[in-house]
Structure 1
Amino acid sequence: MTDFIQLTVYGLANGAVLALAALGFVLIYKATRVINFAQGELLLIGAYLFYTAFVLLRLPLAVAVVAGVVAAVVLGVAVERVVLRPLIGEDPIAVIMVTIGLAAILKAGVQMFYGTTPREMPKVLPTGSVDIAGAPVPLDRLTAVGVAAVALAAFSAFFRWSRHGIAMRAVADDQQAALVQGISVRRIFALAWALAAVSALLGGVLLADIAEVSQNLASFGLIVFPVVILGGLDSVPGTIVGGVVIGLLSQYAEGLSPGASQVAPYVALVLILLVRPYGLFGQVRIERV
């Protein structure tokens, strides 16, 4: 029972971070129909942006968070304007290849400026542990779940009630109709990339605090694909469900057999594609010719 509780908490913490990363992926896909293979590298960049502000520049925690968010927004807008906007209307394969190249450039940039040695960062989340039904559970994992839940709730509220959130939903449904209503589709594209970078920053900071600031954070982003396939490529609520399910599945598999957590998400990915390729909450599109 103790092992089960610990695996569950660890799985929920990992799932919460995965949901944040998957949220950025879904935002970009919903608004622009671009499959972003650089989402893991955005997690990596987010962690190093916060590390730079908090450790290297020695800014107070609140100021470092704000500085990281601003830098992430600038990065997201720059990527959309410089890299993706010239490719509007091009073949989807070409756009996918560009995002793969972008991932390599971002990772190489981190290696160039910071090297490949993992960096130590002072703990931001609470340390220590608490007992849950007799099982010691790390406080940082519980706090990570809470922070991610608040962030996901804030993003959901933004999409549902804010003017820009409604505009993003309109563009996701029908770009031509949104243009007729006076919505700037290009501005929404930039906003989608900016929000994706911010969500990746939050996920990267949580990961860096729980583990370490290293190149391995980029590989964590690969598990985003099973998450979005399970939840649905165009479903924001699906990212939460998918993140929790894949996070728990990975930890339970690790508990049964060491190393199985590296394989279980991709086994689930194949099964999902065979049974329900649009995901649990994805929109089924039927094209007739």
Structure 2
Amino acid sequence: MAFFLETLIGGLMAGMLYSLVALGFVLIFKASGVFNFAQGAMVLFAALAMARFSQWVPGWLGIESKLLGNIAAFALAGALMLAIAWVVERLVLRHLVNQEGVTLLMATLGITYFLDGLGQTLFGSDIYQIDIGMPKDPVFLLENVFEGGVLVNLEDVYAACVAALLVAALSLFFQKTATGRALRAVADDHQAAQSIGIPLNRIWVIVWFVAGITALVAGMIWGSKLGVQFSLTTVALRALPVIILGGLTSVPGAIIGGLIIGVGEKLSEVYLGPFVGGGIEIWFAYVLALVFLLFRPQGLFGEKIIDRV
């Protein structure tokens, strides 16, 4: 039982991190109706900015405290993501209002390569470390209940808590604020939203900035665990099954989908892997996503689109 709980908790922790990356896709899609292929590049770019600023800022400002240095680095990286959002809206999205979805999709591919090149130019292409103070030593819990206790990685627990807080904040933002409701209106119909006075350009800057902050938090966590390297862009690929499962338009769906994928990967690898030679964790999520595409393409919480002619 203790081993099962360790596997289950590990899956839940991984699932929260998948959800965090998937949120970036959901946010952009909800505001523009386009699948943002640049989300992986945004995670990498934000992580590079955080890693390098945390090295540079203490020297620039004469800060000796690591905590204050990280806070200042996060603020600078956030400001940079705001600048990226403004540039994307000014140079790309503004000129593609009411265009076909495939046009916007190709635009996000261009943004991907732009951010990849800009990140290398500004911050270099080495492997960098992000130290945000999360403990890395595992601990044993429930020792009085199970013999030997349950082994839990504290870094995963802290990361999952941060991800859960951000997810909760974004859910409240979309449901309870006027800006969040405006974002949903823009996603439904650009022209109708403009006709009732919703400033489309400002809304797109806001949503790309929020997606950038989400990418920054995800990049910090993944960078702390794995190091900041260009393979981080592939983290976005792990989030694709999450949004297919949860629904491309649902913030709660991204959470539930991430948890299901995370737990399913861990449990299948541990309990089914020995019978098929291992490696289930690599392809489990994609097979599950394929099943959903065949039988419920809108996902668990996505909106079913009906076109009437």
Flag whether TM exceeds 0.5 (same fold): yes
SS at match of 1:234: coil
Work out whether residues 49 and 123 of structure 2, in 8 Å CA contact, stay in contact via their aligned partners in 1: no
Counterpart Cα distance in 2 of 1:55 and 1:101: 30
Q: Does residue 11 in structure 1 map to residue 20 in structure 2?
A: no
Unaligned 5+ residue runs, structure 2? 59-67, 143-148
Give the aligned partner of residue 283 of structure 2.
Answer: 263
Q: Does residue 217 in structure 1 map to residue 249 in structure 2?
A: no
Q: Does residue 233 in structure 1 map to residue 248 in structure 2?
A: yes
What is the count of residue pairs matched by the alignment? 289
Work out whether residues 9 and 141 of structure 1, in 8 Å CA contact, stay in contact via their aligned partners in 2: no
Counterpart Cα distance in 2 of 1:156 and 1:233: 15
Task: Quote the offset at 1:114 in angstroms.
Answer: 4.2
SS at match of 2:92: helix
Q: Does residue 244 in structure 1 map to residue 259 in structure 2?
A: yes
Q: How do residues 1-289 of structure 1 correspond to structure 2 at under 5 angstroms?
A: 1-58=1-58, 60-133=69-142, 134-255=149-270, 256-257=272-273, 258-289=278-309
TM-score of the superposed pair, with normalisation by structure 2: 0.86
Deviates more, 1:243-252 or 1:265-274: 243-252
Task: Quote the offset at 1:60 in angstroms.
Answer: 1.4
Counterpart Cα distance in 1 of 2:229 and 2:164: 24
The verdict on how the C-alpha distance between 1:102 and 1:67 changes in structure 2, with shifts beyond 3 A counting, is same
What is the percentage of aligned positions where both structures have the same residue?
37
The verdict on how the C-alpha distance between 1:123 and 1:180 changes in structure 2, with shifts beyond 3 A counting, is closer
Structure 1 vs Structure 2 CA RMSD: 1.9
Deviates more, 1:175-184 or 1:20-29: 175-184
Q: 1:208 corresponds to which letter in structure 2?
A: G
Work out whether residues 55 and 121 of structure 1, in 8 Å CA contact, stay in contact via their aligned partners in 2: no
Counterpart Cα distance in 2 of 1:55 and 1:69: 16
The verdict on how the C-alpha distance between 1:113 and 1:185 changes in structure 2, with shifts beyond 3 A counting, is closer
Deviates more, 1:53-62 or 1:25-34: 53-62
If you compute each CA radius of gyration, which structure gives the higher value, 1 or 2? Answer: 2
The verdict on how the C-alpha distance between 1:68 and 1:112 changes in structure 2, with shifts beyond 3 A counting, is closer
Counterpart Cα distance in 1 of 2:96 and 2:56: 36
Counterpart Cα distance in 1 of 2:55 and 2:15: 27
Q: 1:83 corresponds to which letter in structure 2?
A: V
1:55-74 superposed Cα distances (whole Å, 9 cap, x missing partner): 23236122222222222222
Counterpart Cα distance in 2 of 1:5 and 1:188: 43
1:172-199 superposed Cα distances (whole Å, 9 cap, x missing partner): 3343443333211221122111111111
Task: Quote the offset at 1:252 in angstroms.
Answer: 2.5
Q: 1:181 corresponds to which letter in structure 2?
A: I
Work out whether residues 50 and 64 of structure 1, in 8 Å CA contact, stay in contact via their aligned partners in 2: yes
Counterpart Cα distance in 1 of 2:5 and 2:46: 30
The verdict on how the C-alpha distance between 1:285 and 1:149 changes in structure 2, with shifts beyond 3 A counting, is same
The verdict on how the C-alpha distance between 1:250 and 1:80 changes in structure 2, with shifts beyond 3 A counting, is farther
Counterpart Cα distance in 1 of 2:39 and 2:94: 18
Task: Quote the offset at 1:217 in angstroms.
Answer: 1.0
Task: Quote the offset at 1:32 in angstroms.
Answer: 0.7
Counterpart Cα distance in 2 of 1:175 and 1:93: 16
1:62-108 superposed Cα distances (whole Å, 9 cap, x missing partner): 22222222222221222232123222233322322222232223223
Task: Quote the offset at 1:251 in angstroms.
Answer: 2.4
The verdict on how the C-alpha distance between 1:112 and 1:68 changes in structure 2, with shifts beyond 3 A counting, is closer
The verdict on how the C-alpha distance between 1:251 and 1:56 changes in structure 2, with shifts beyond 3 A counting, is farther
Counterpart Cα distance in 2 of 1:113 and 1:10: 35
Counterpart Cα distance in 2 of 1:72 and 1:192: 11
TM-score of the superposed pair, with normalisation by structure 1: 0.92
SS at match of 1:284: coil
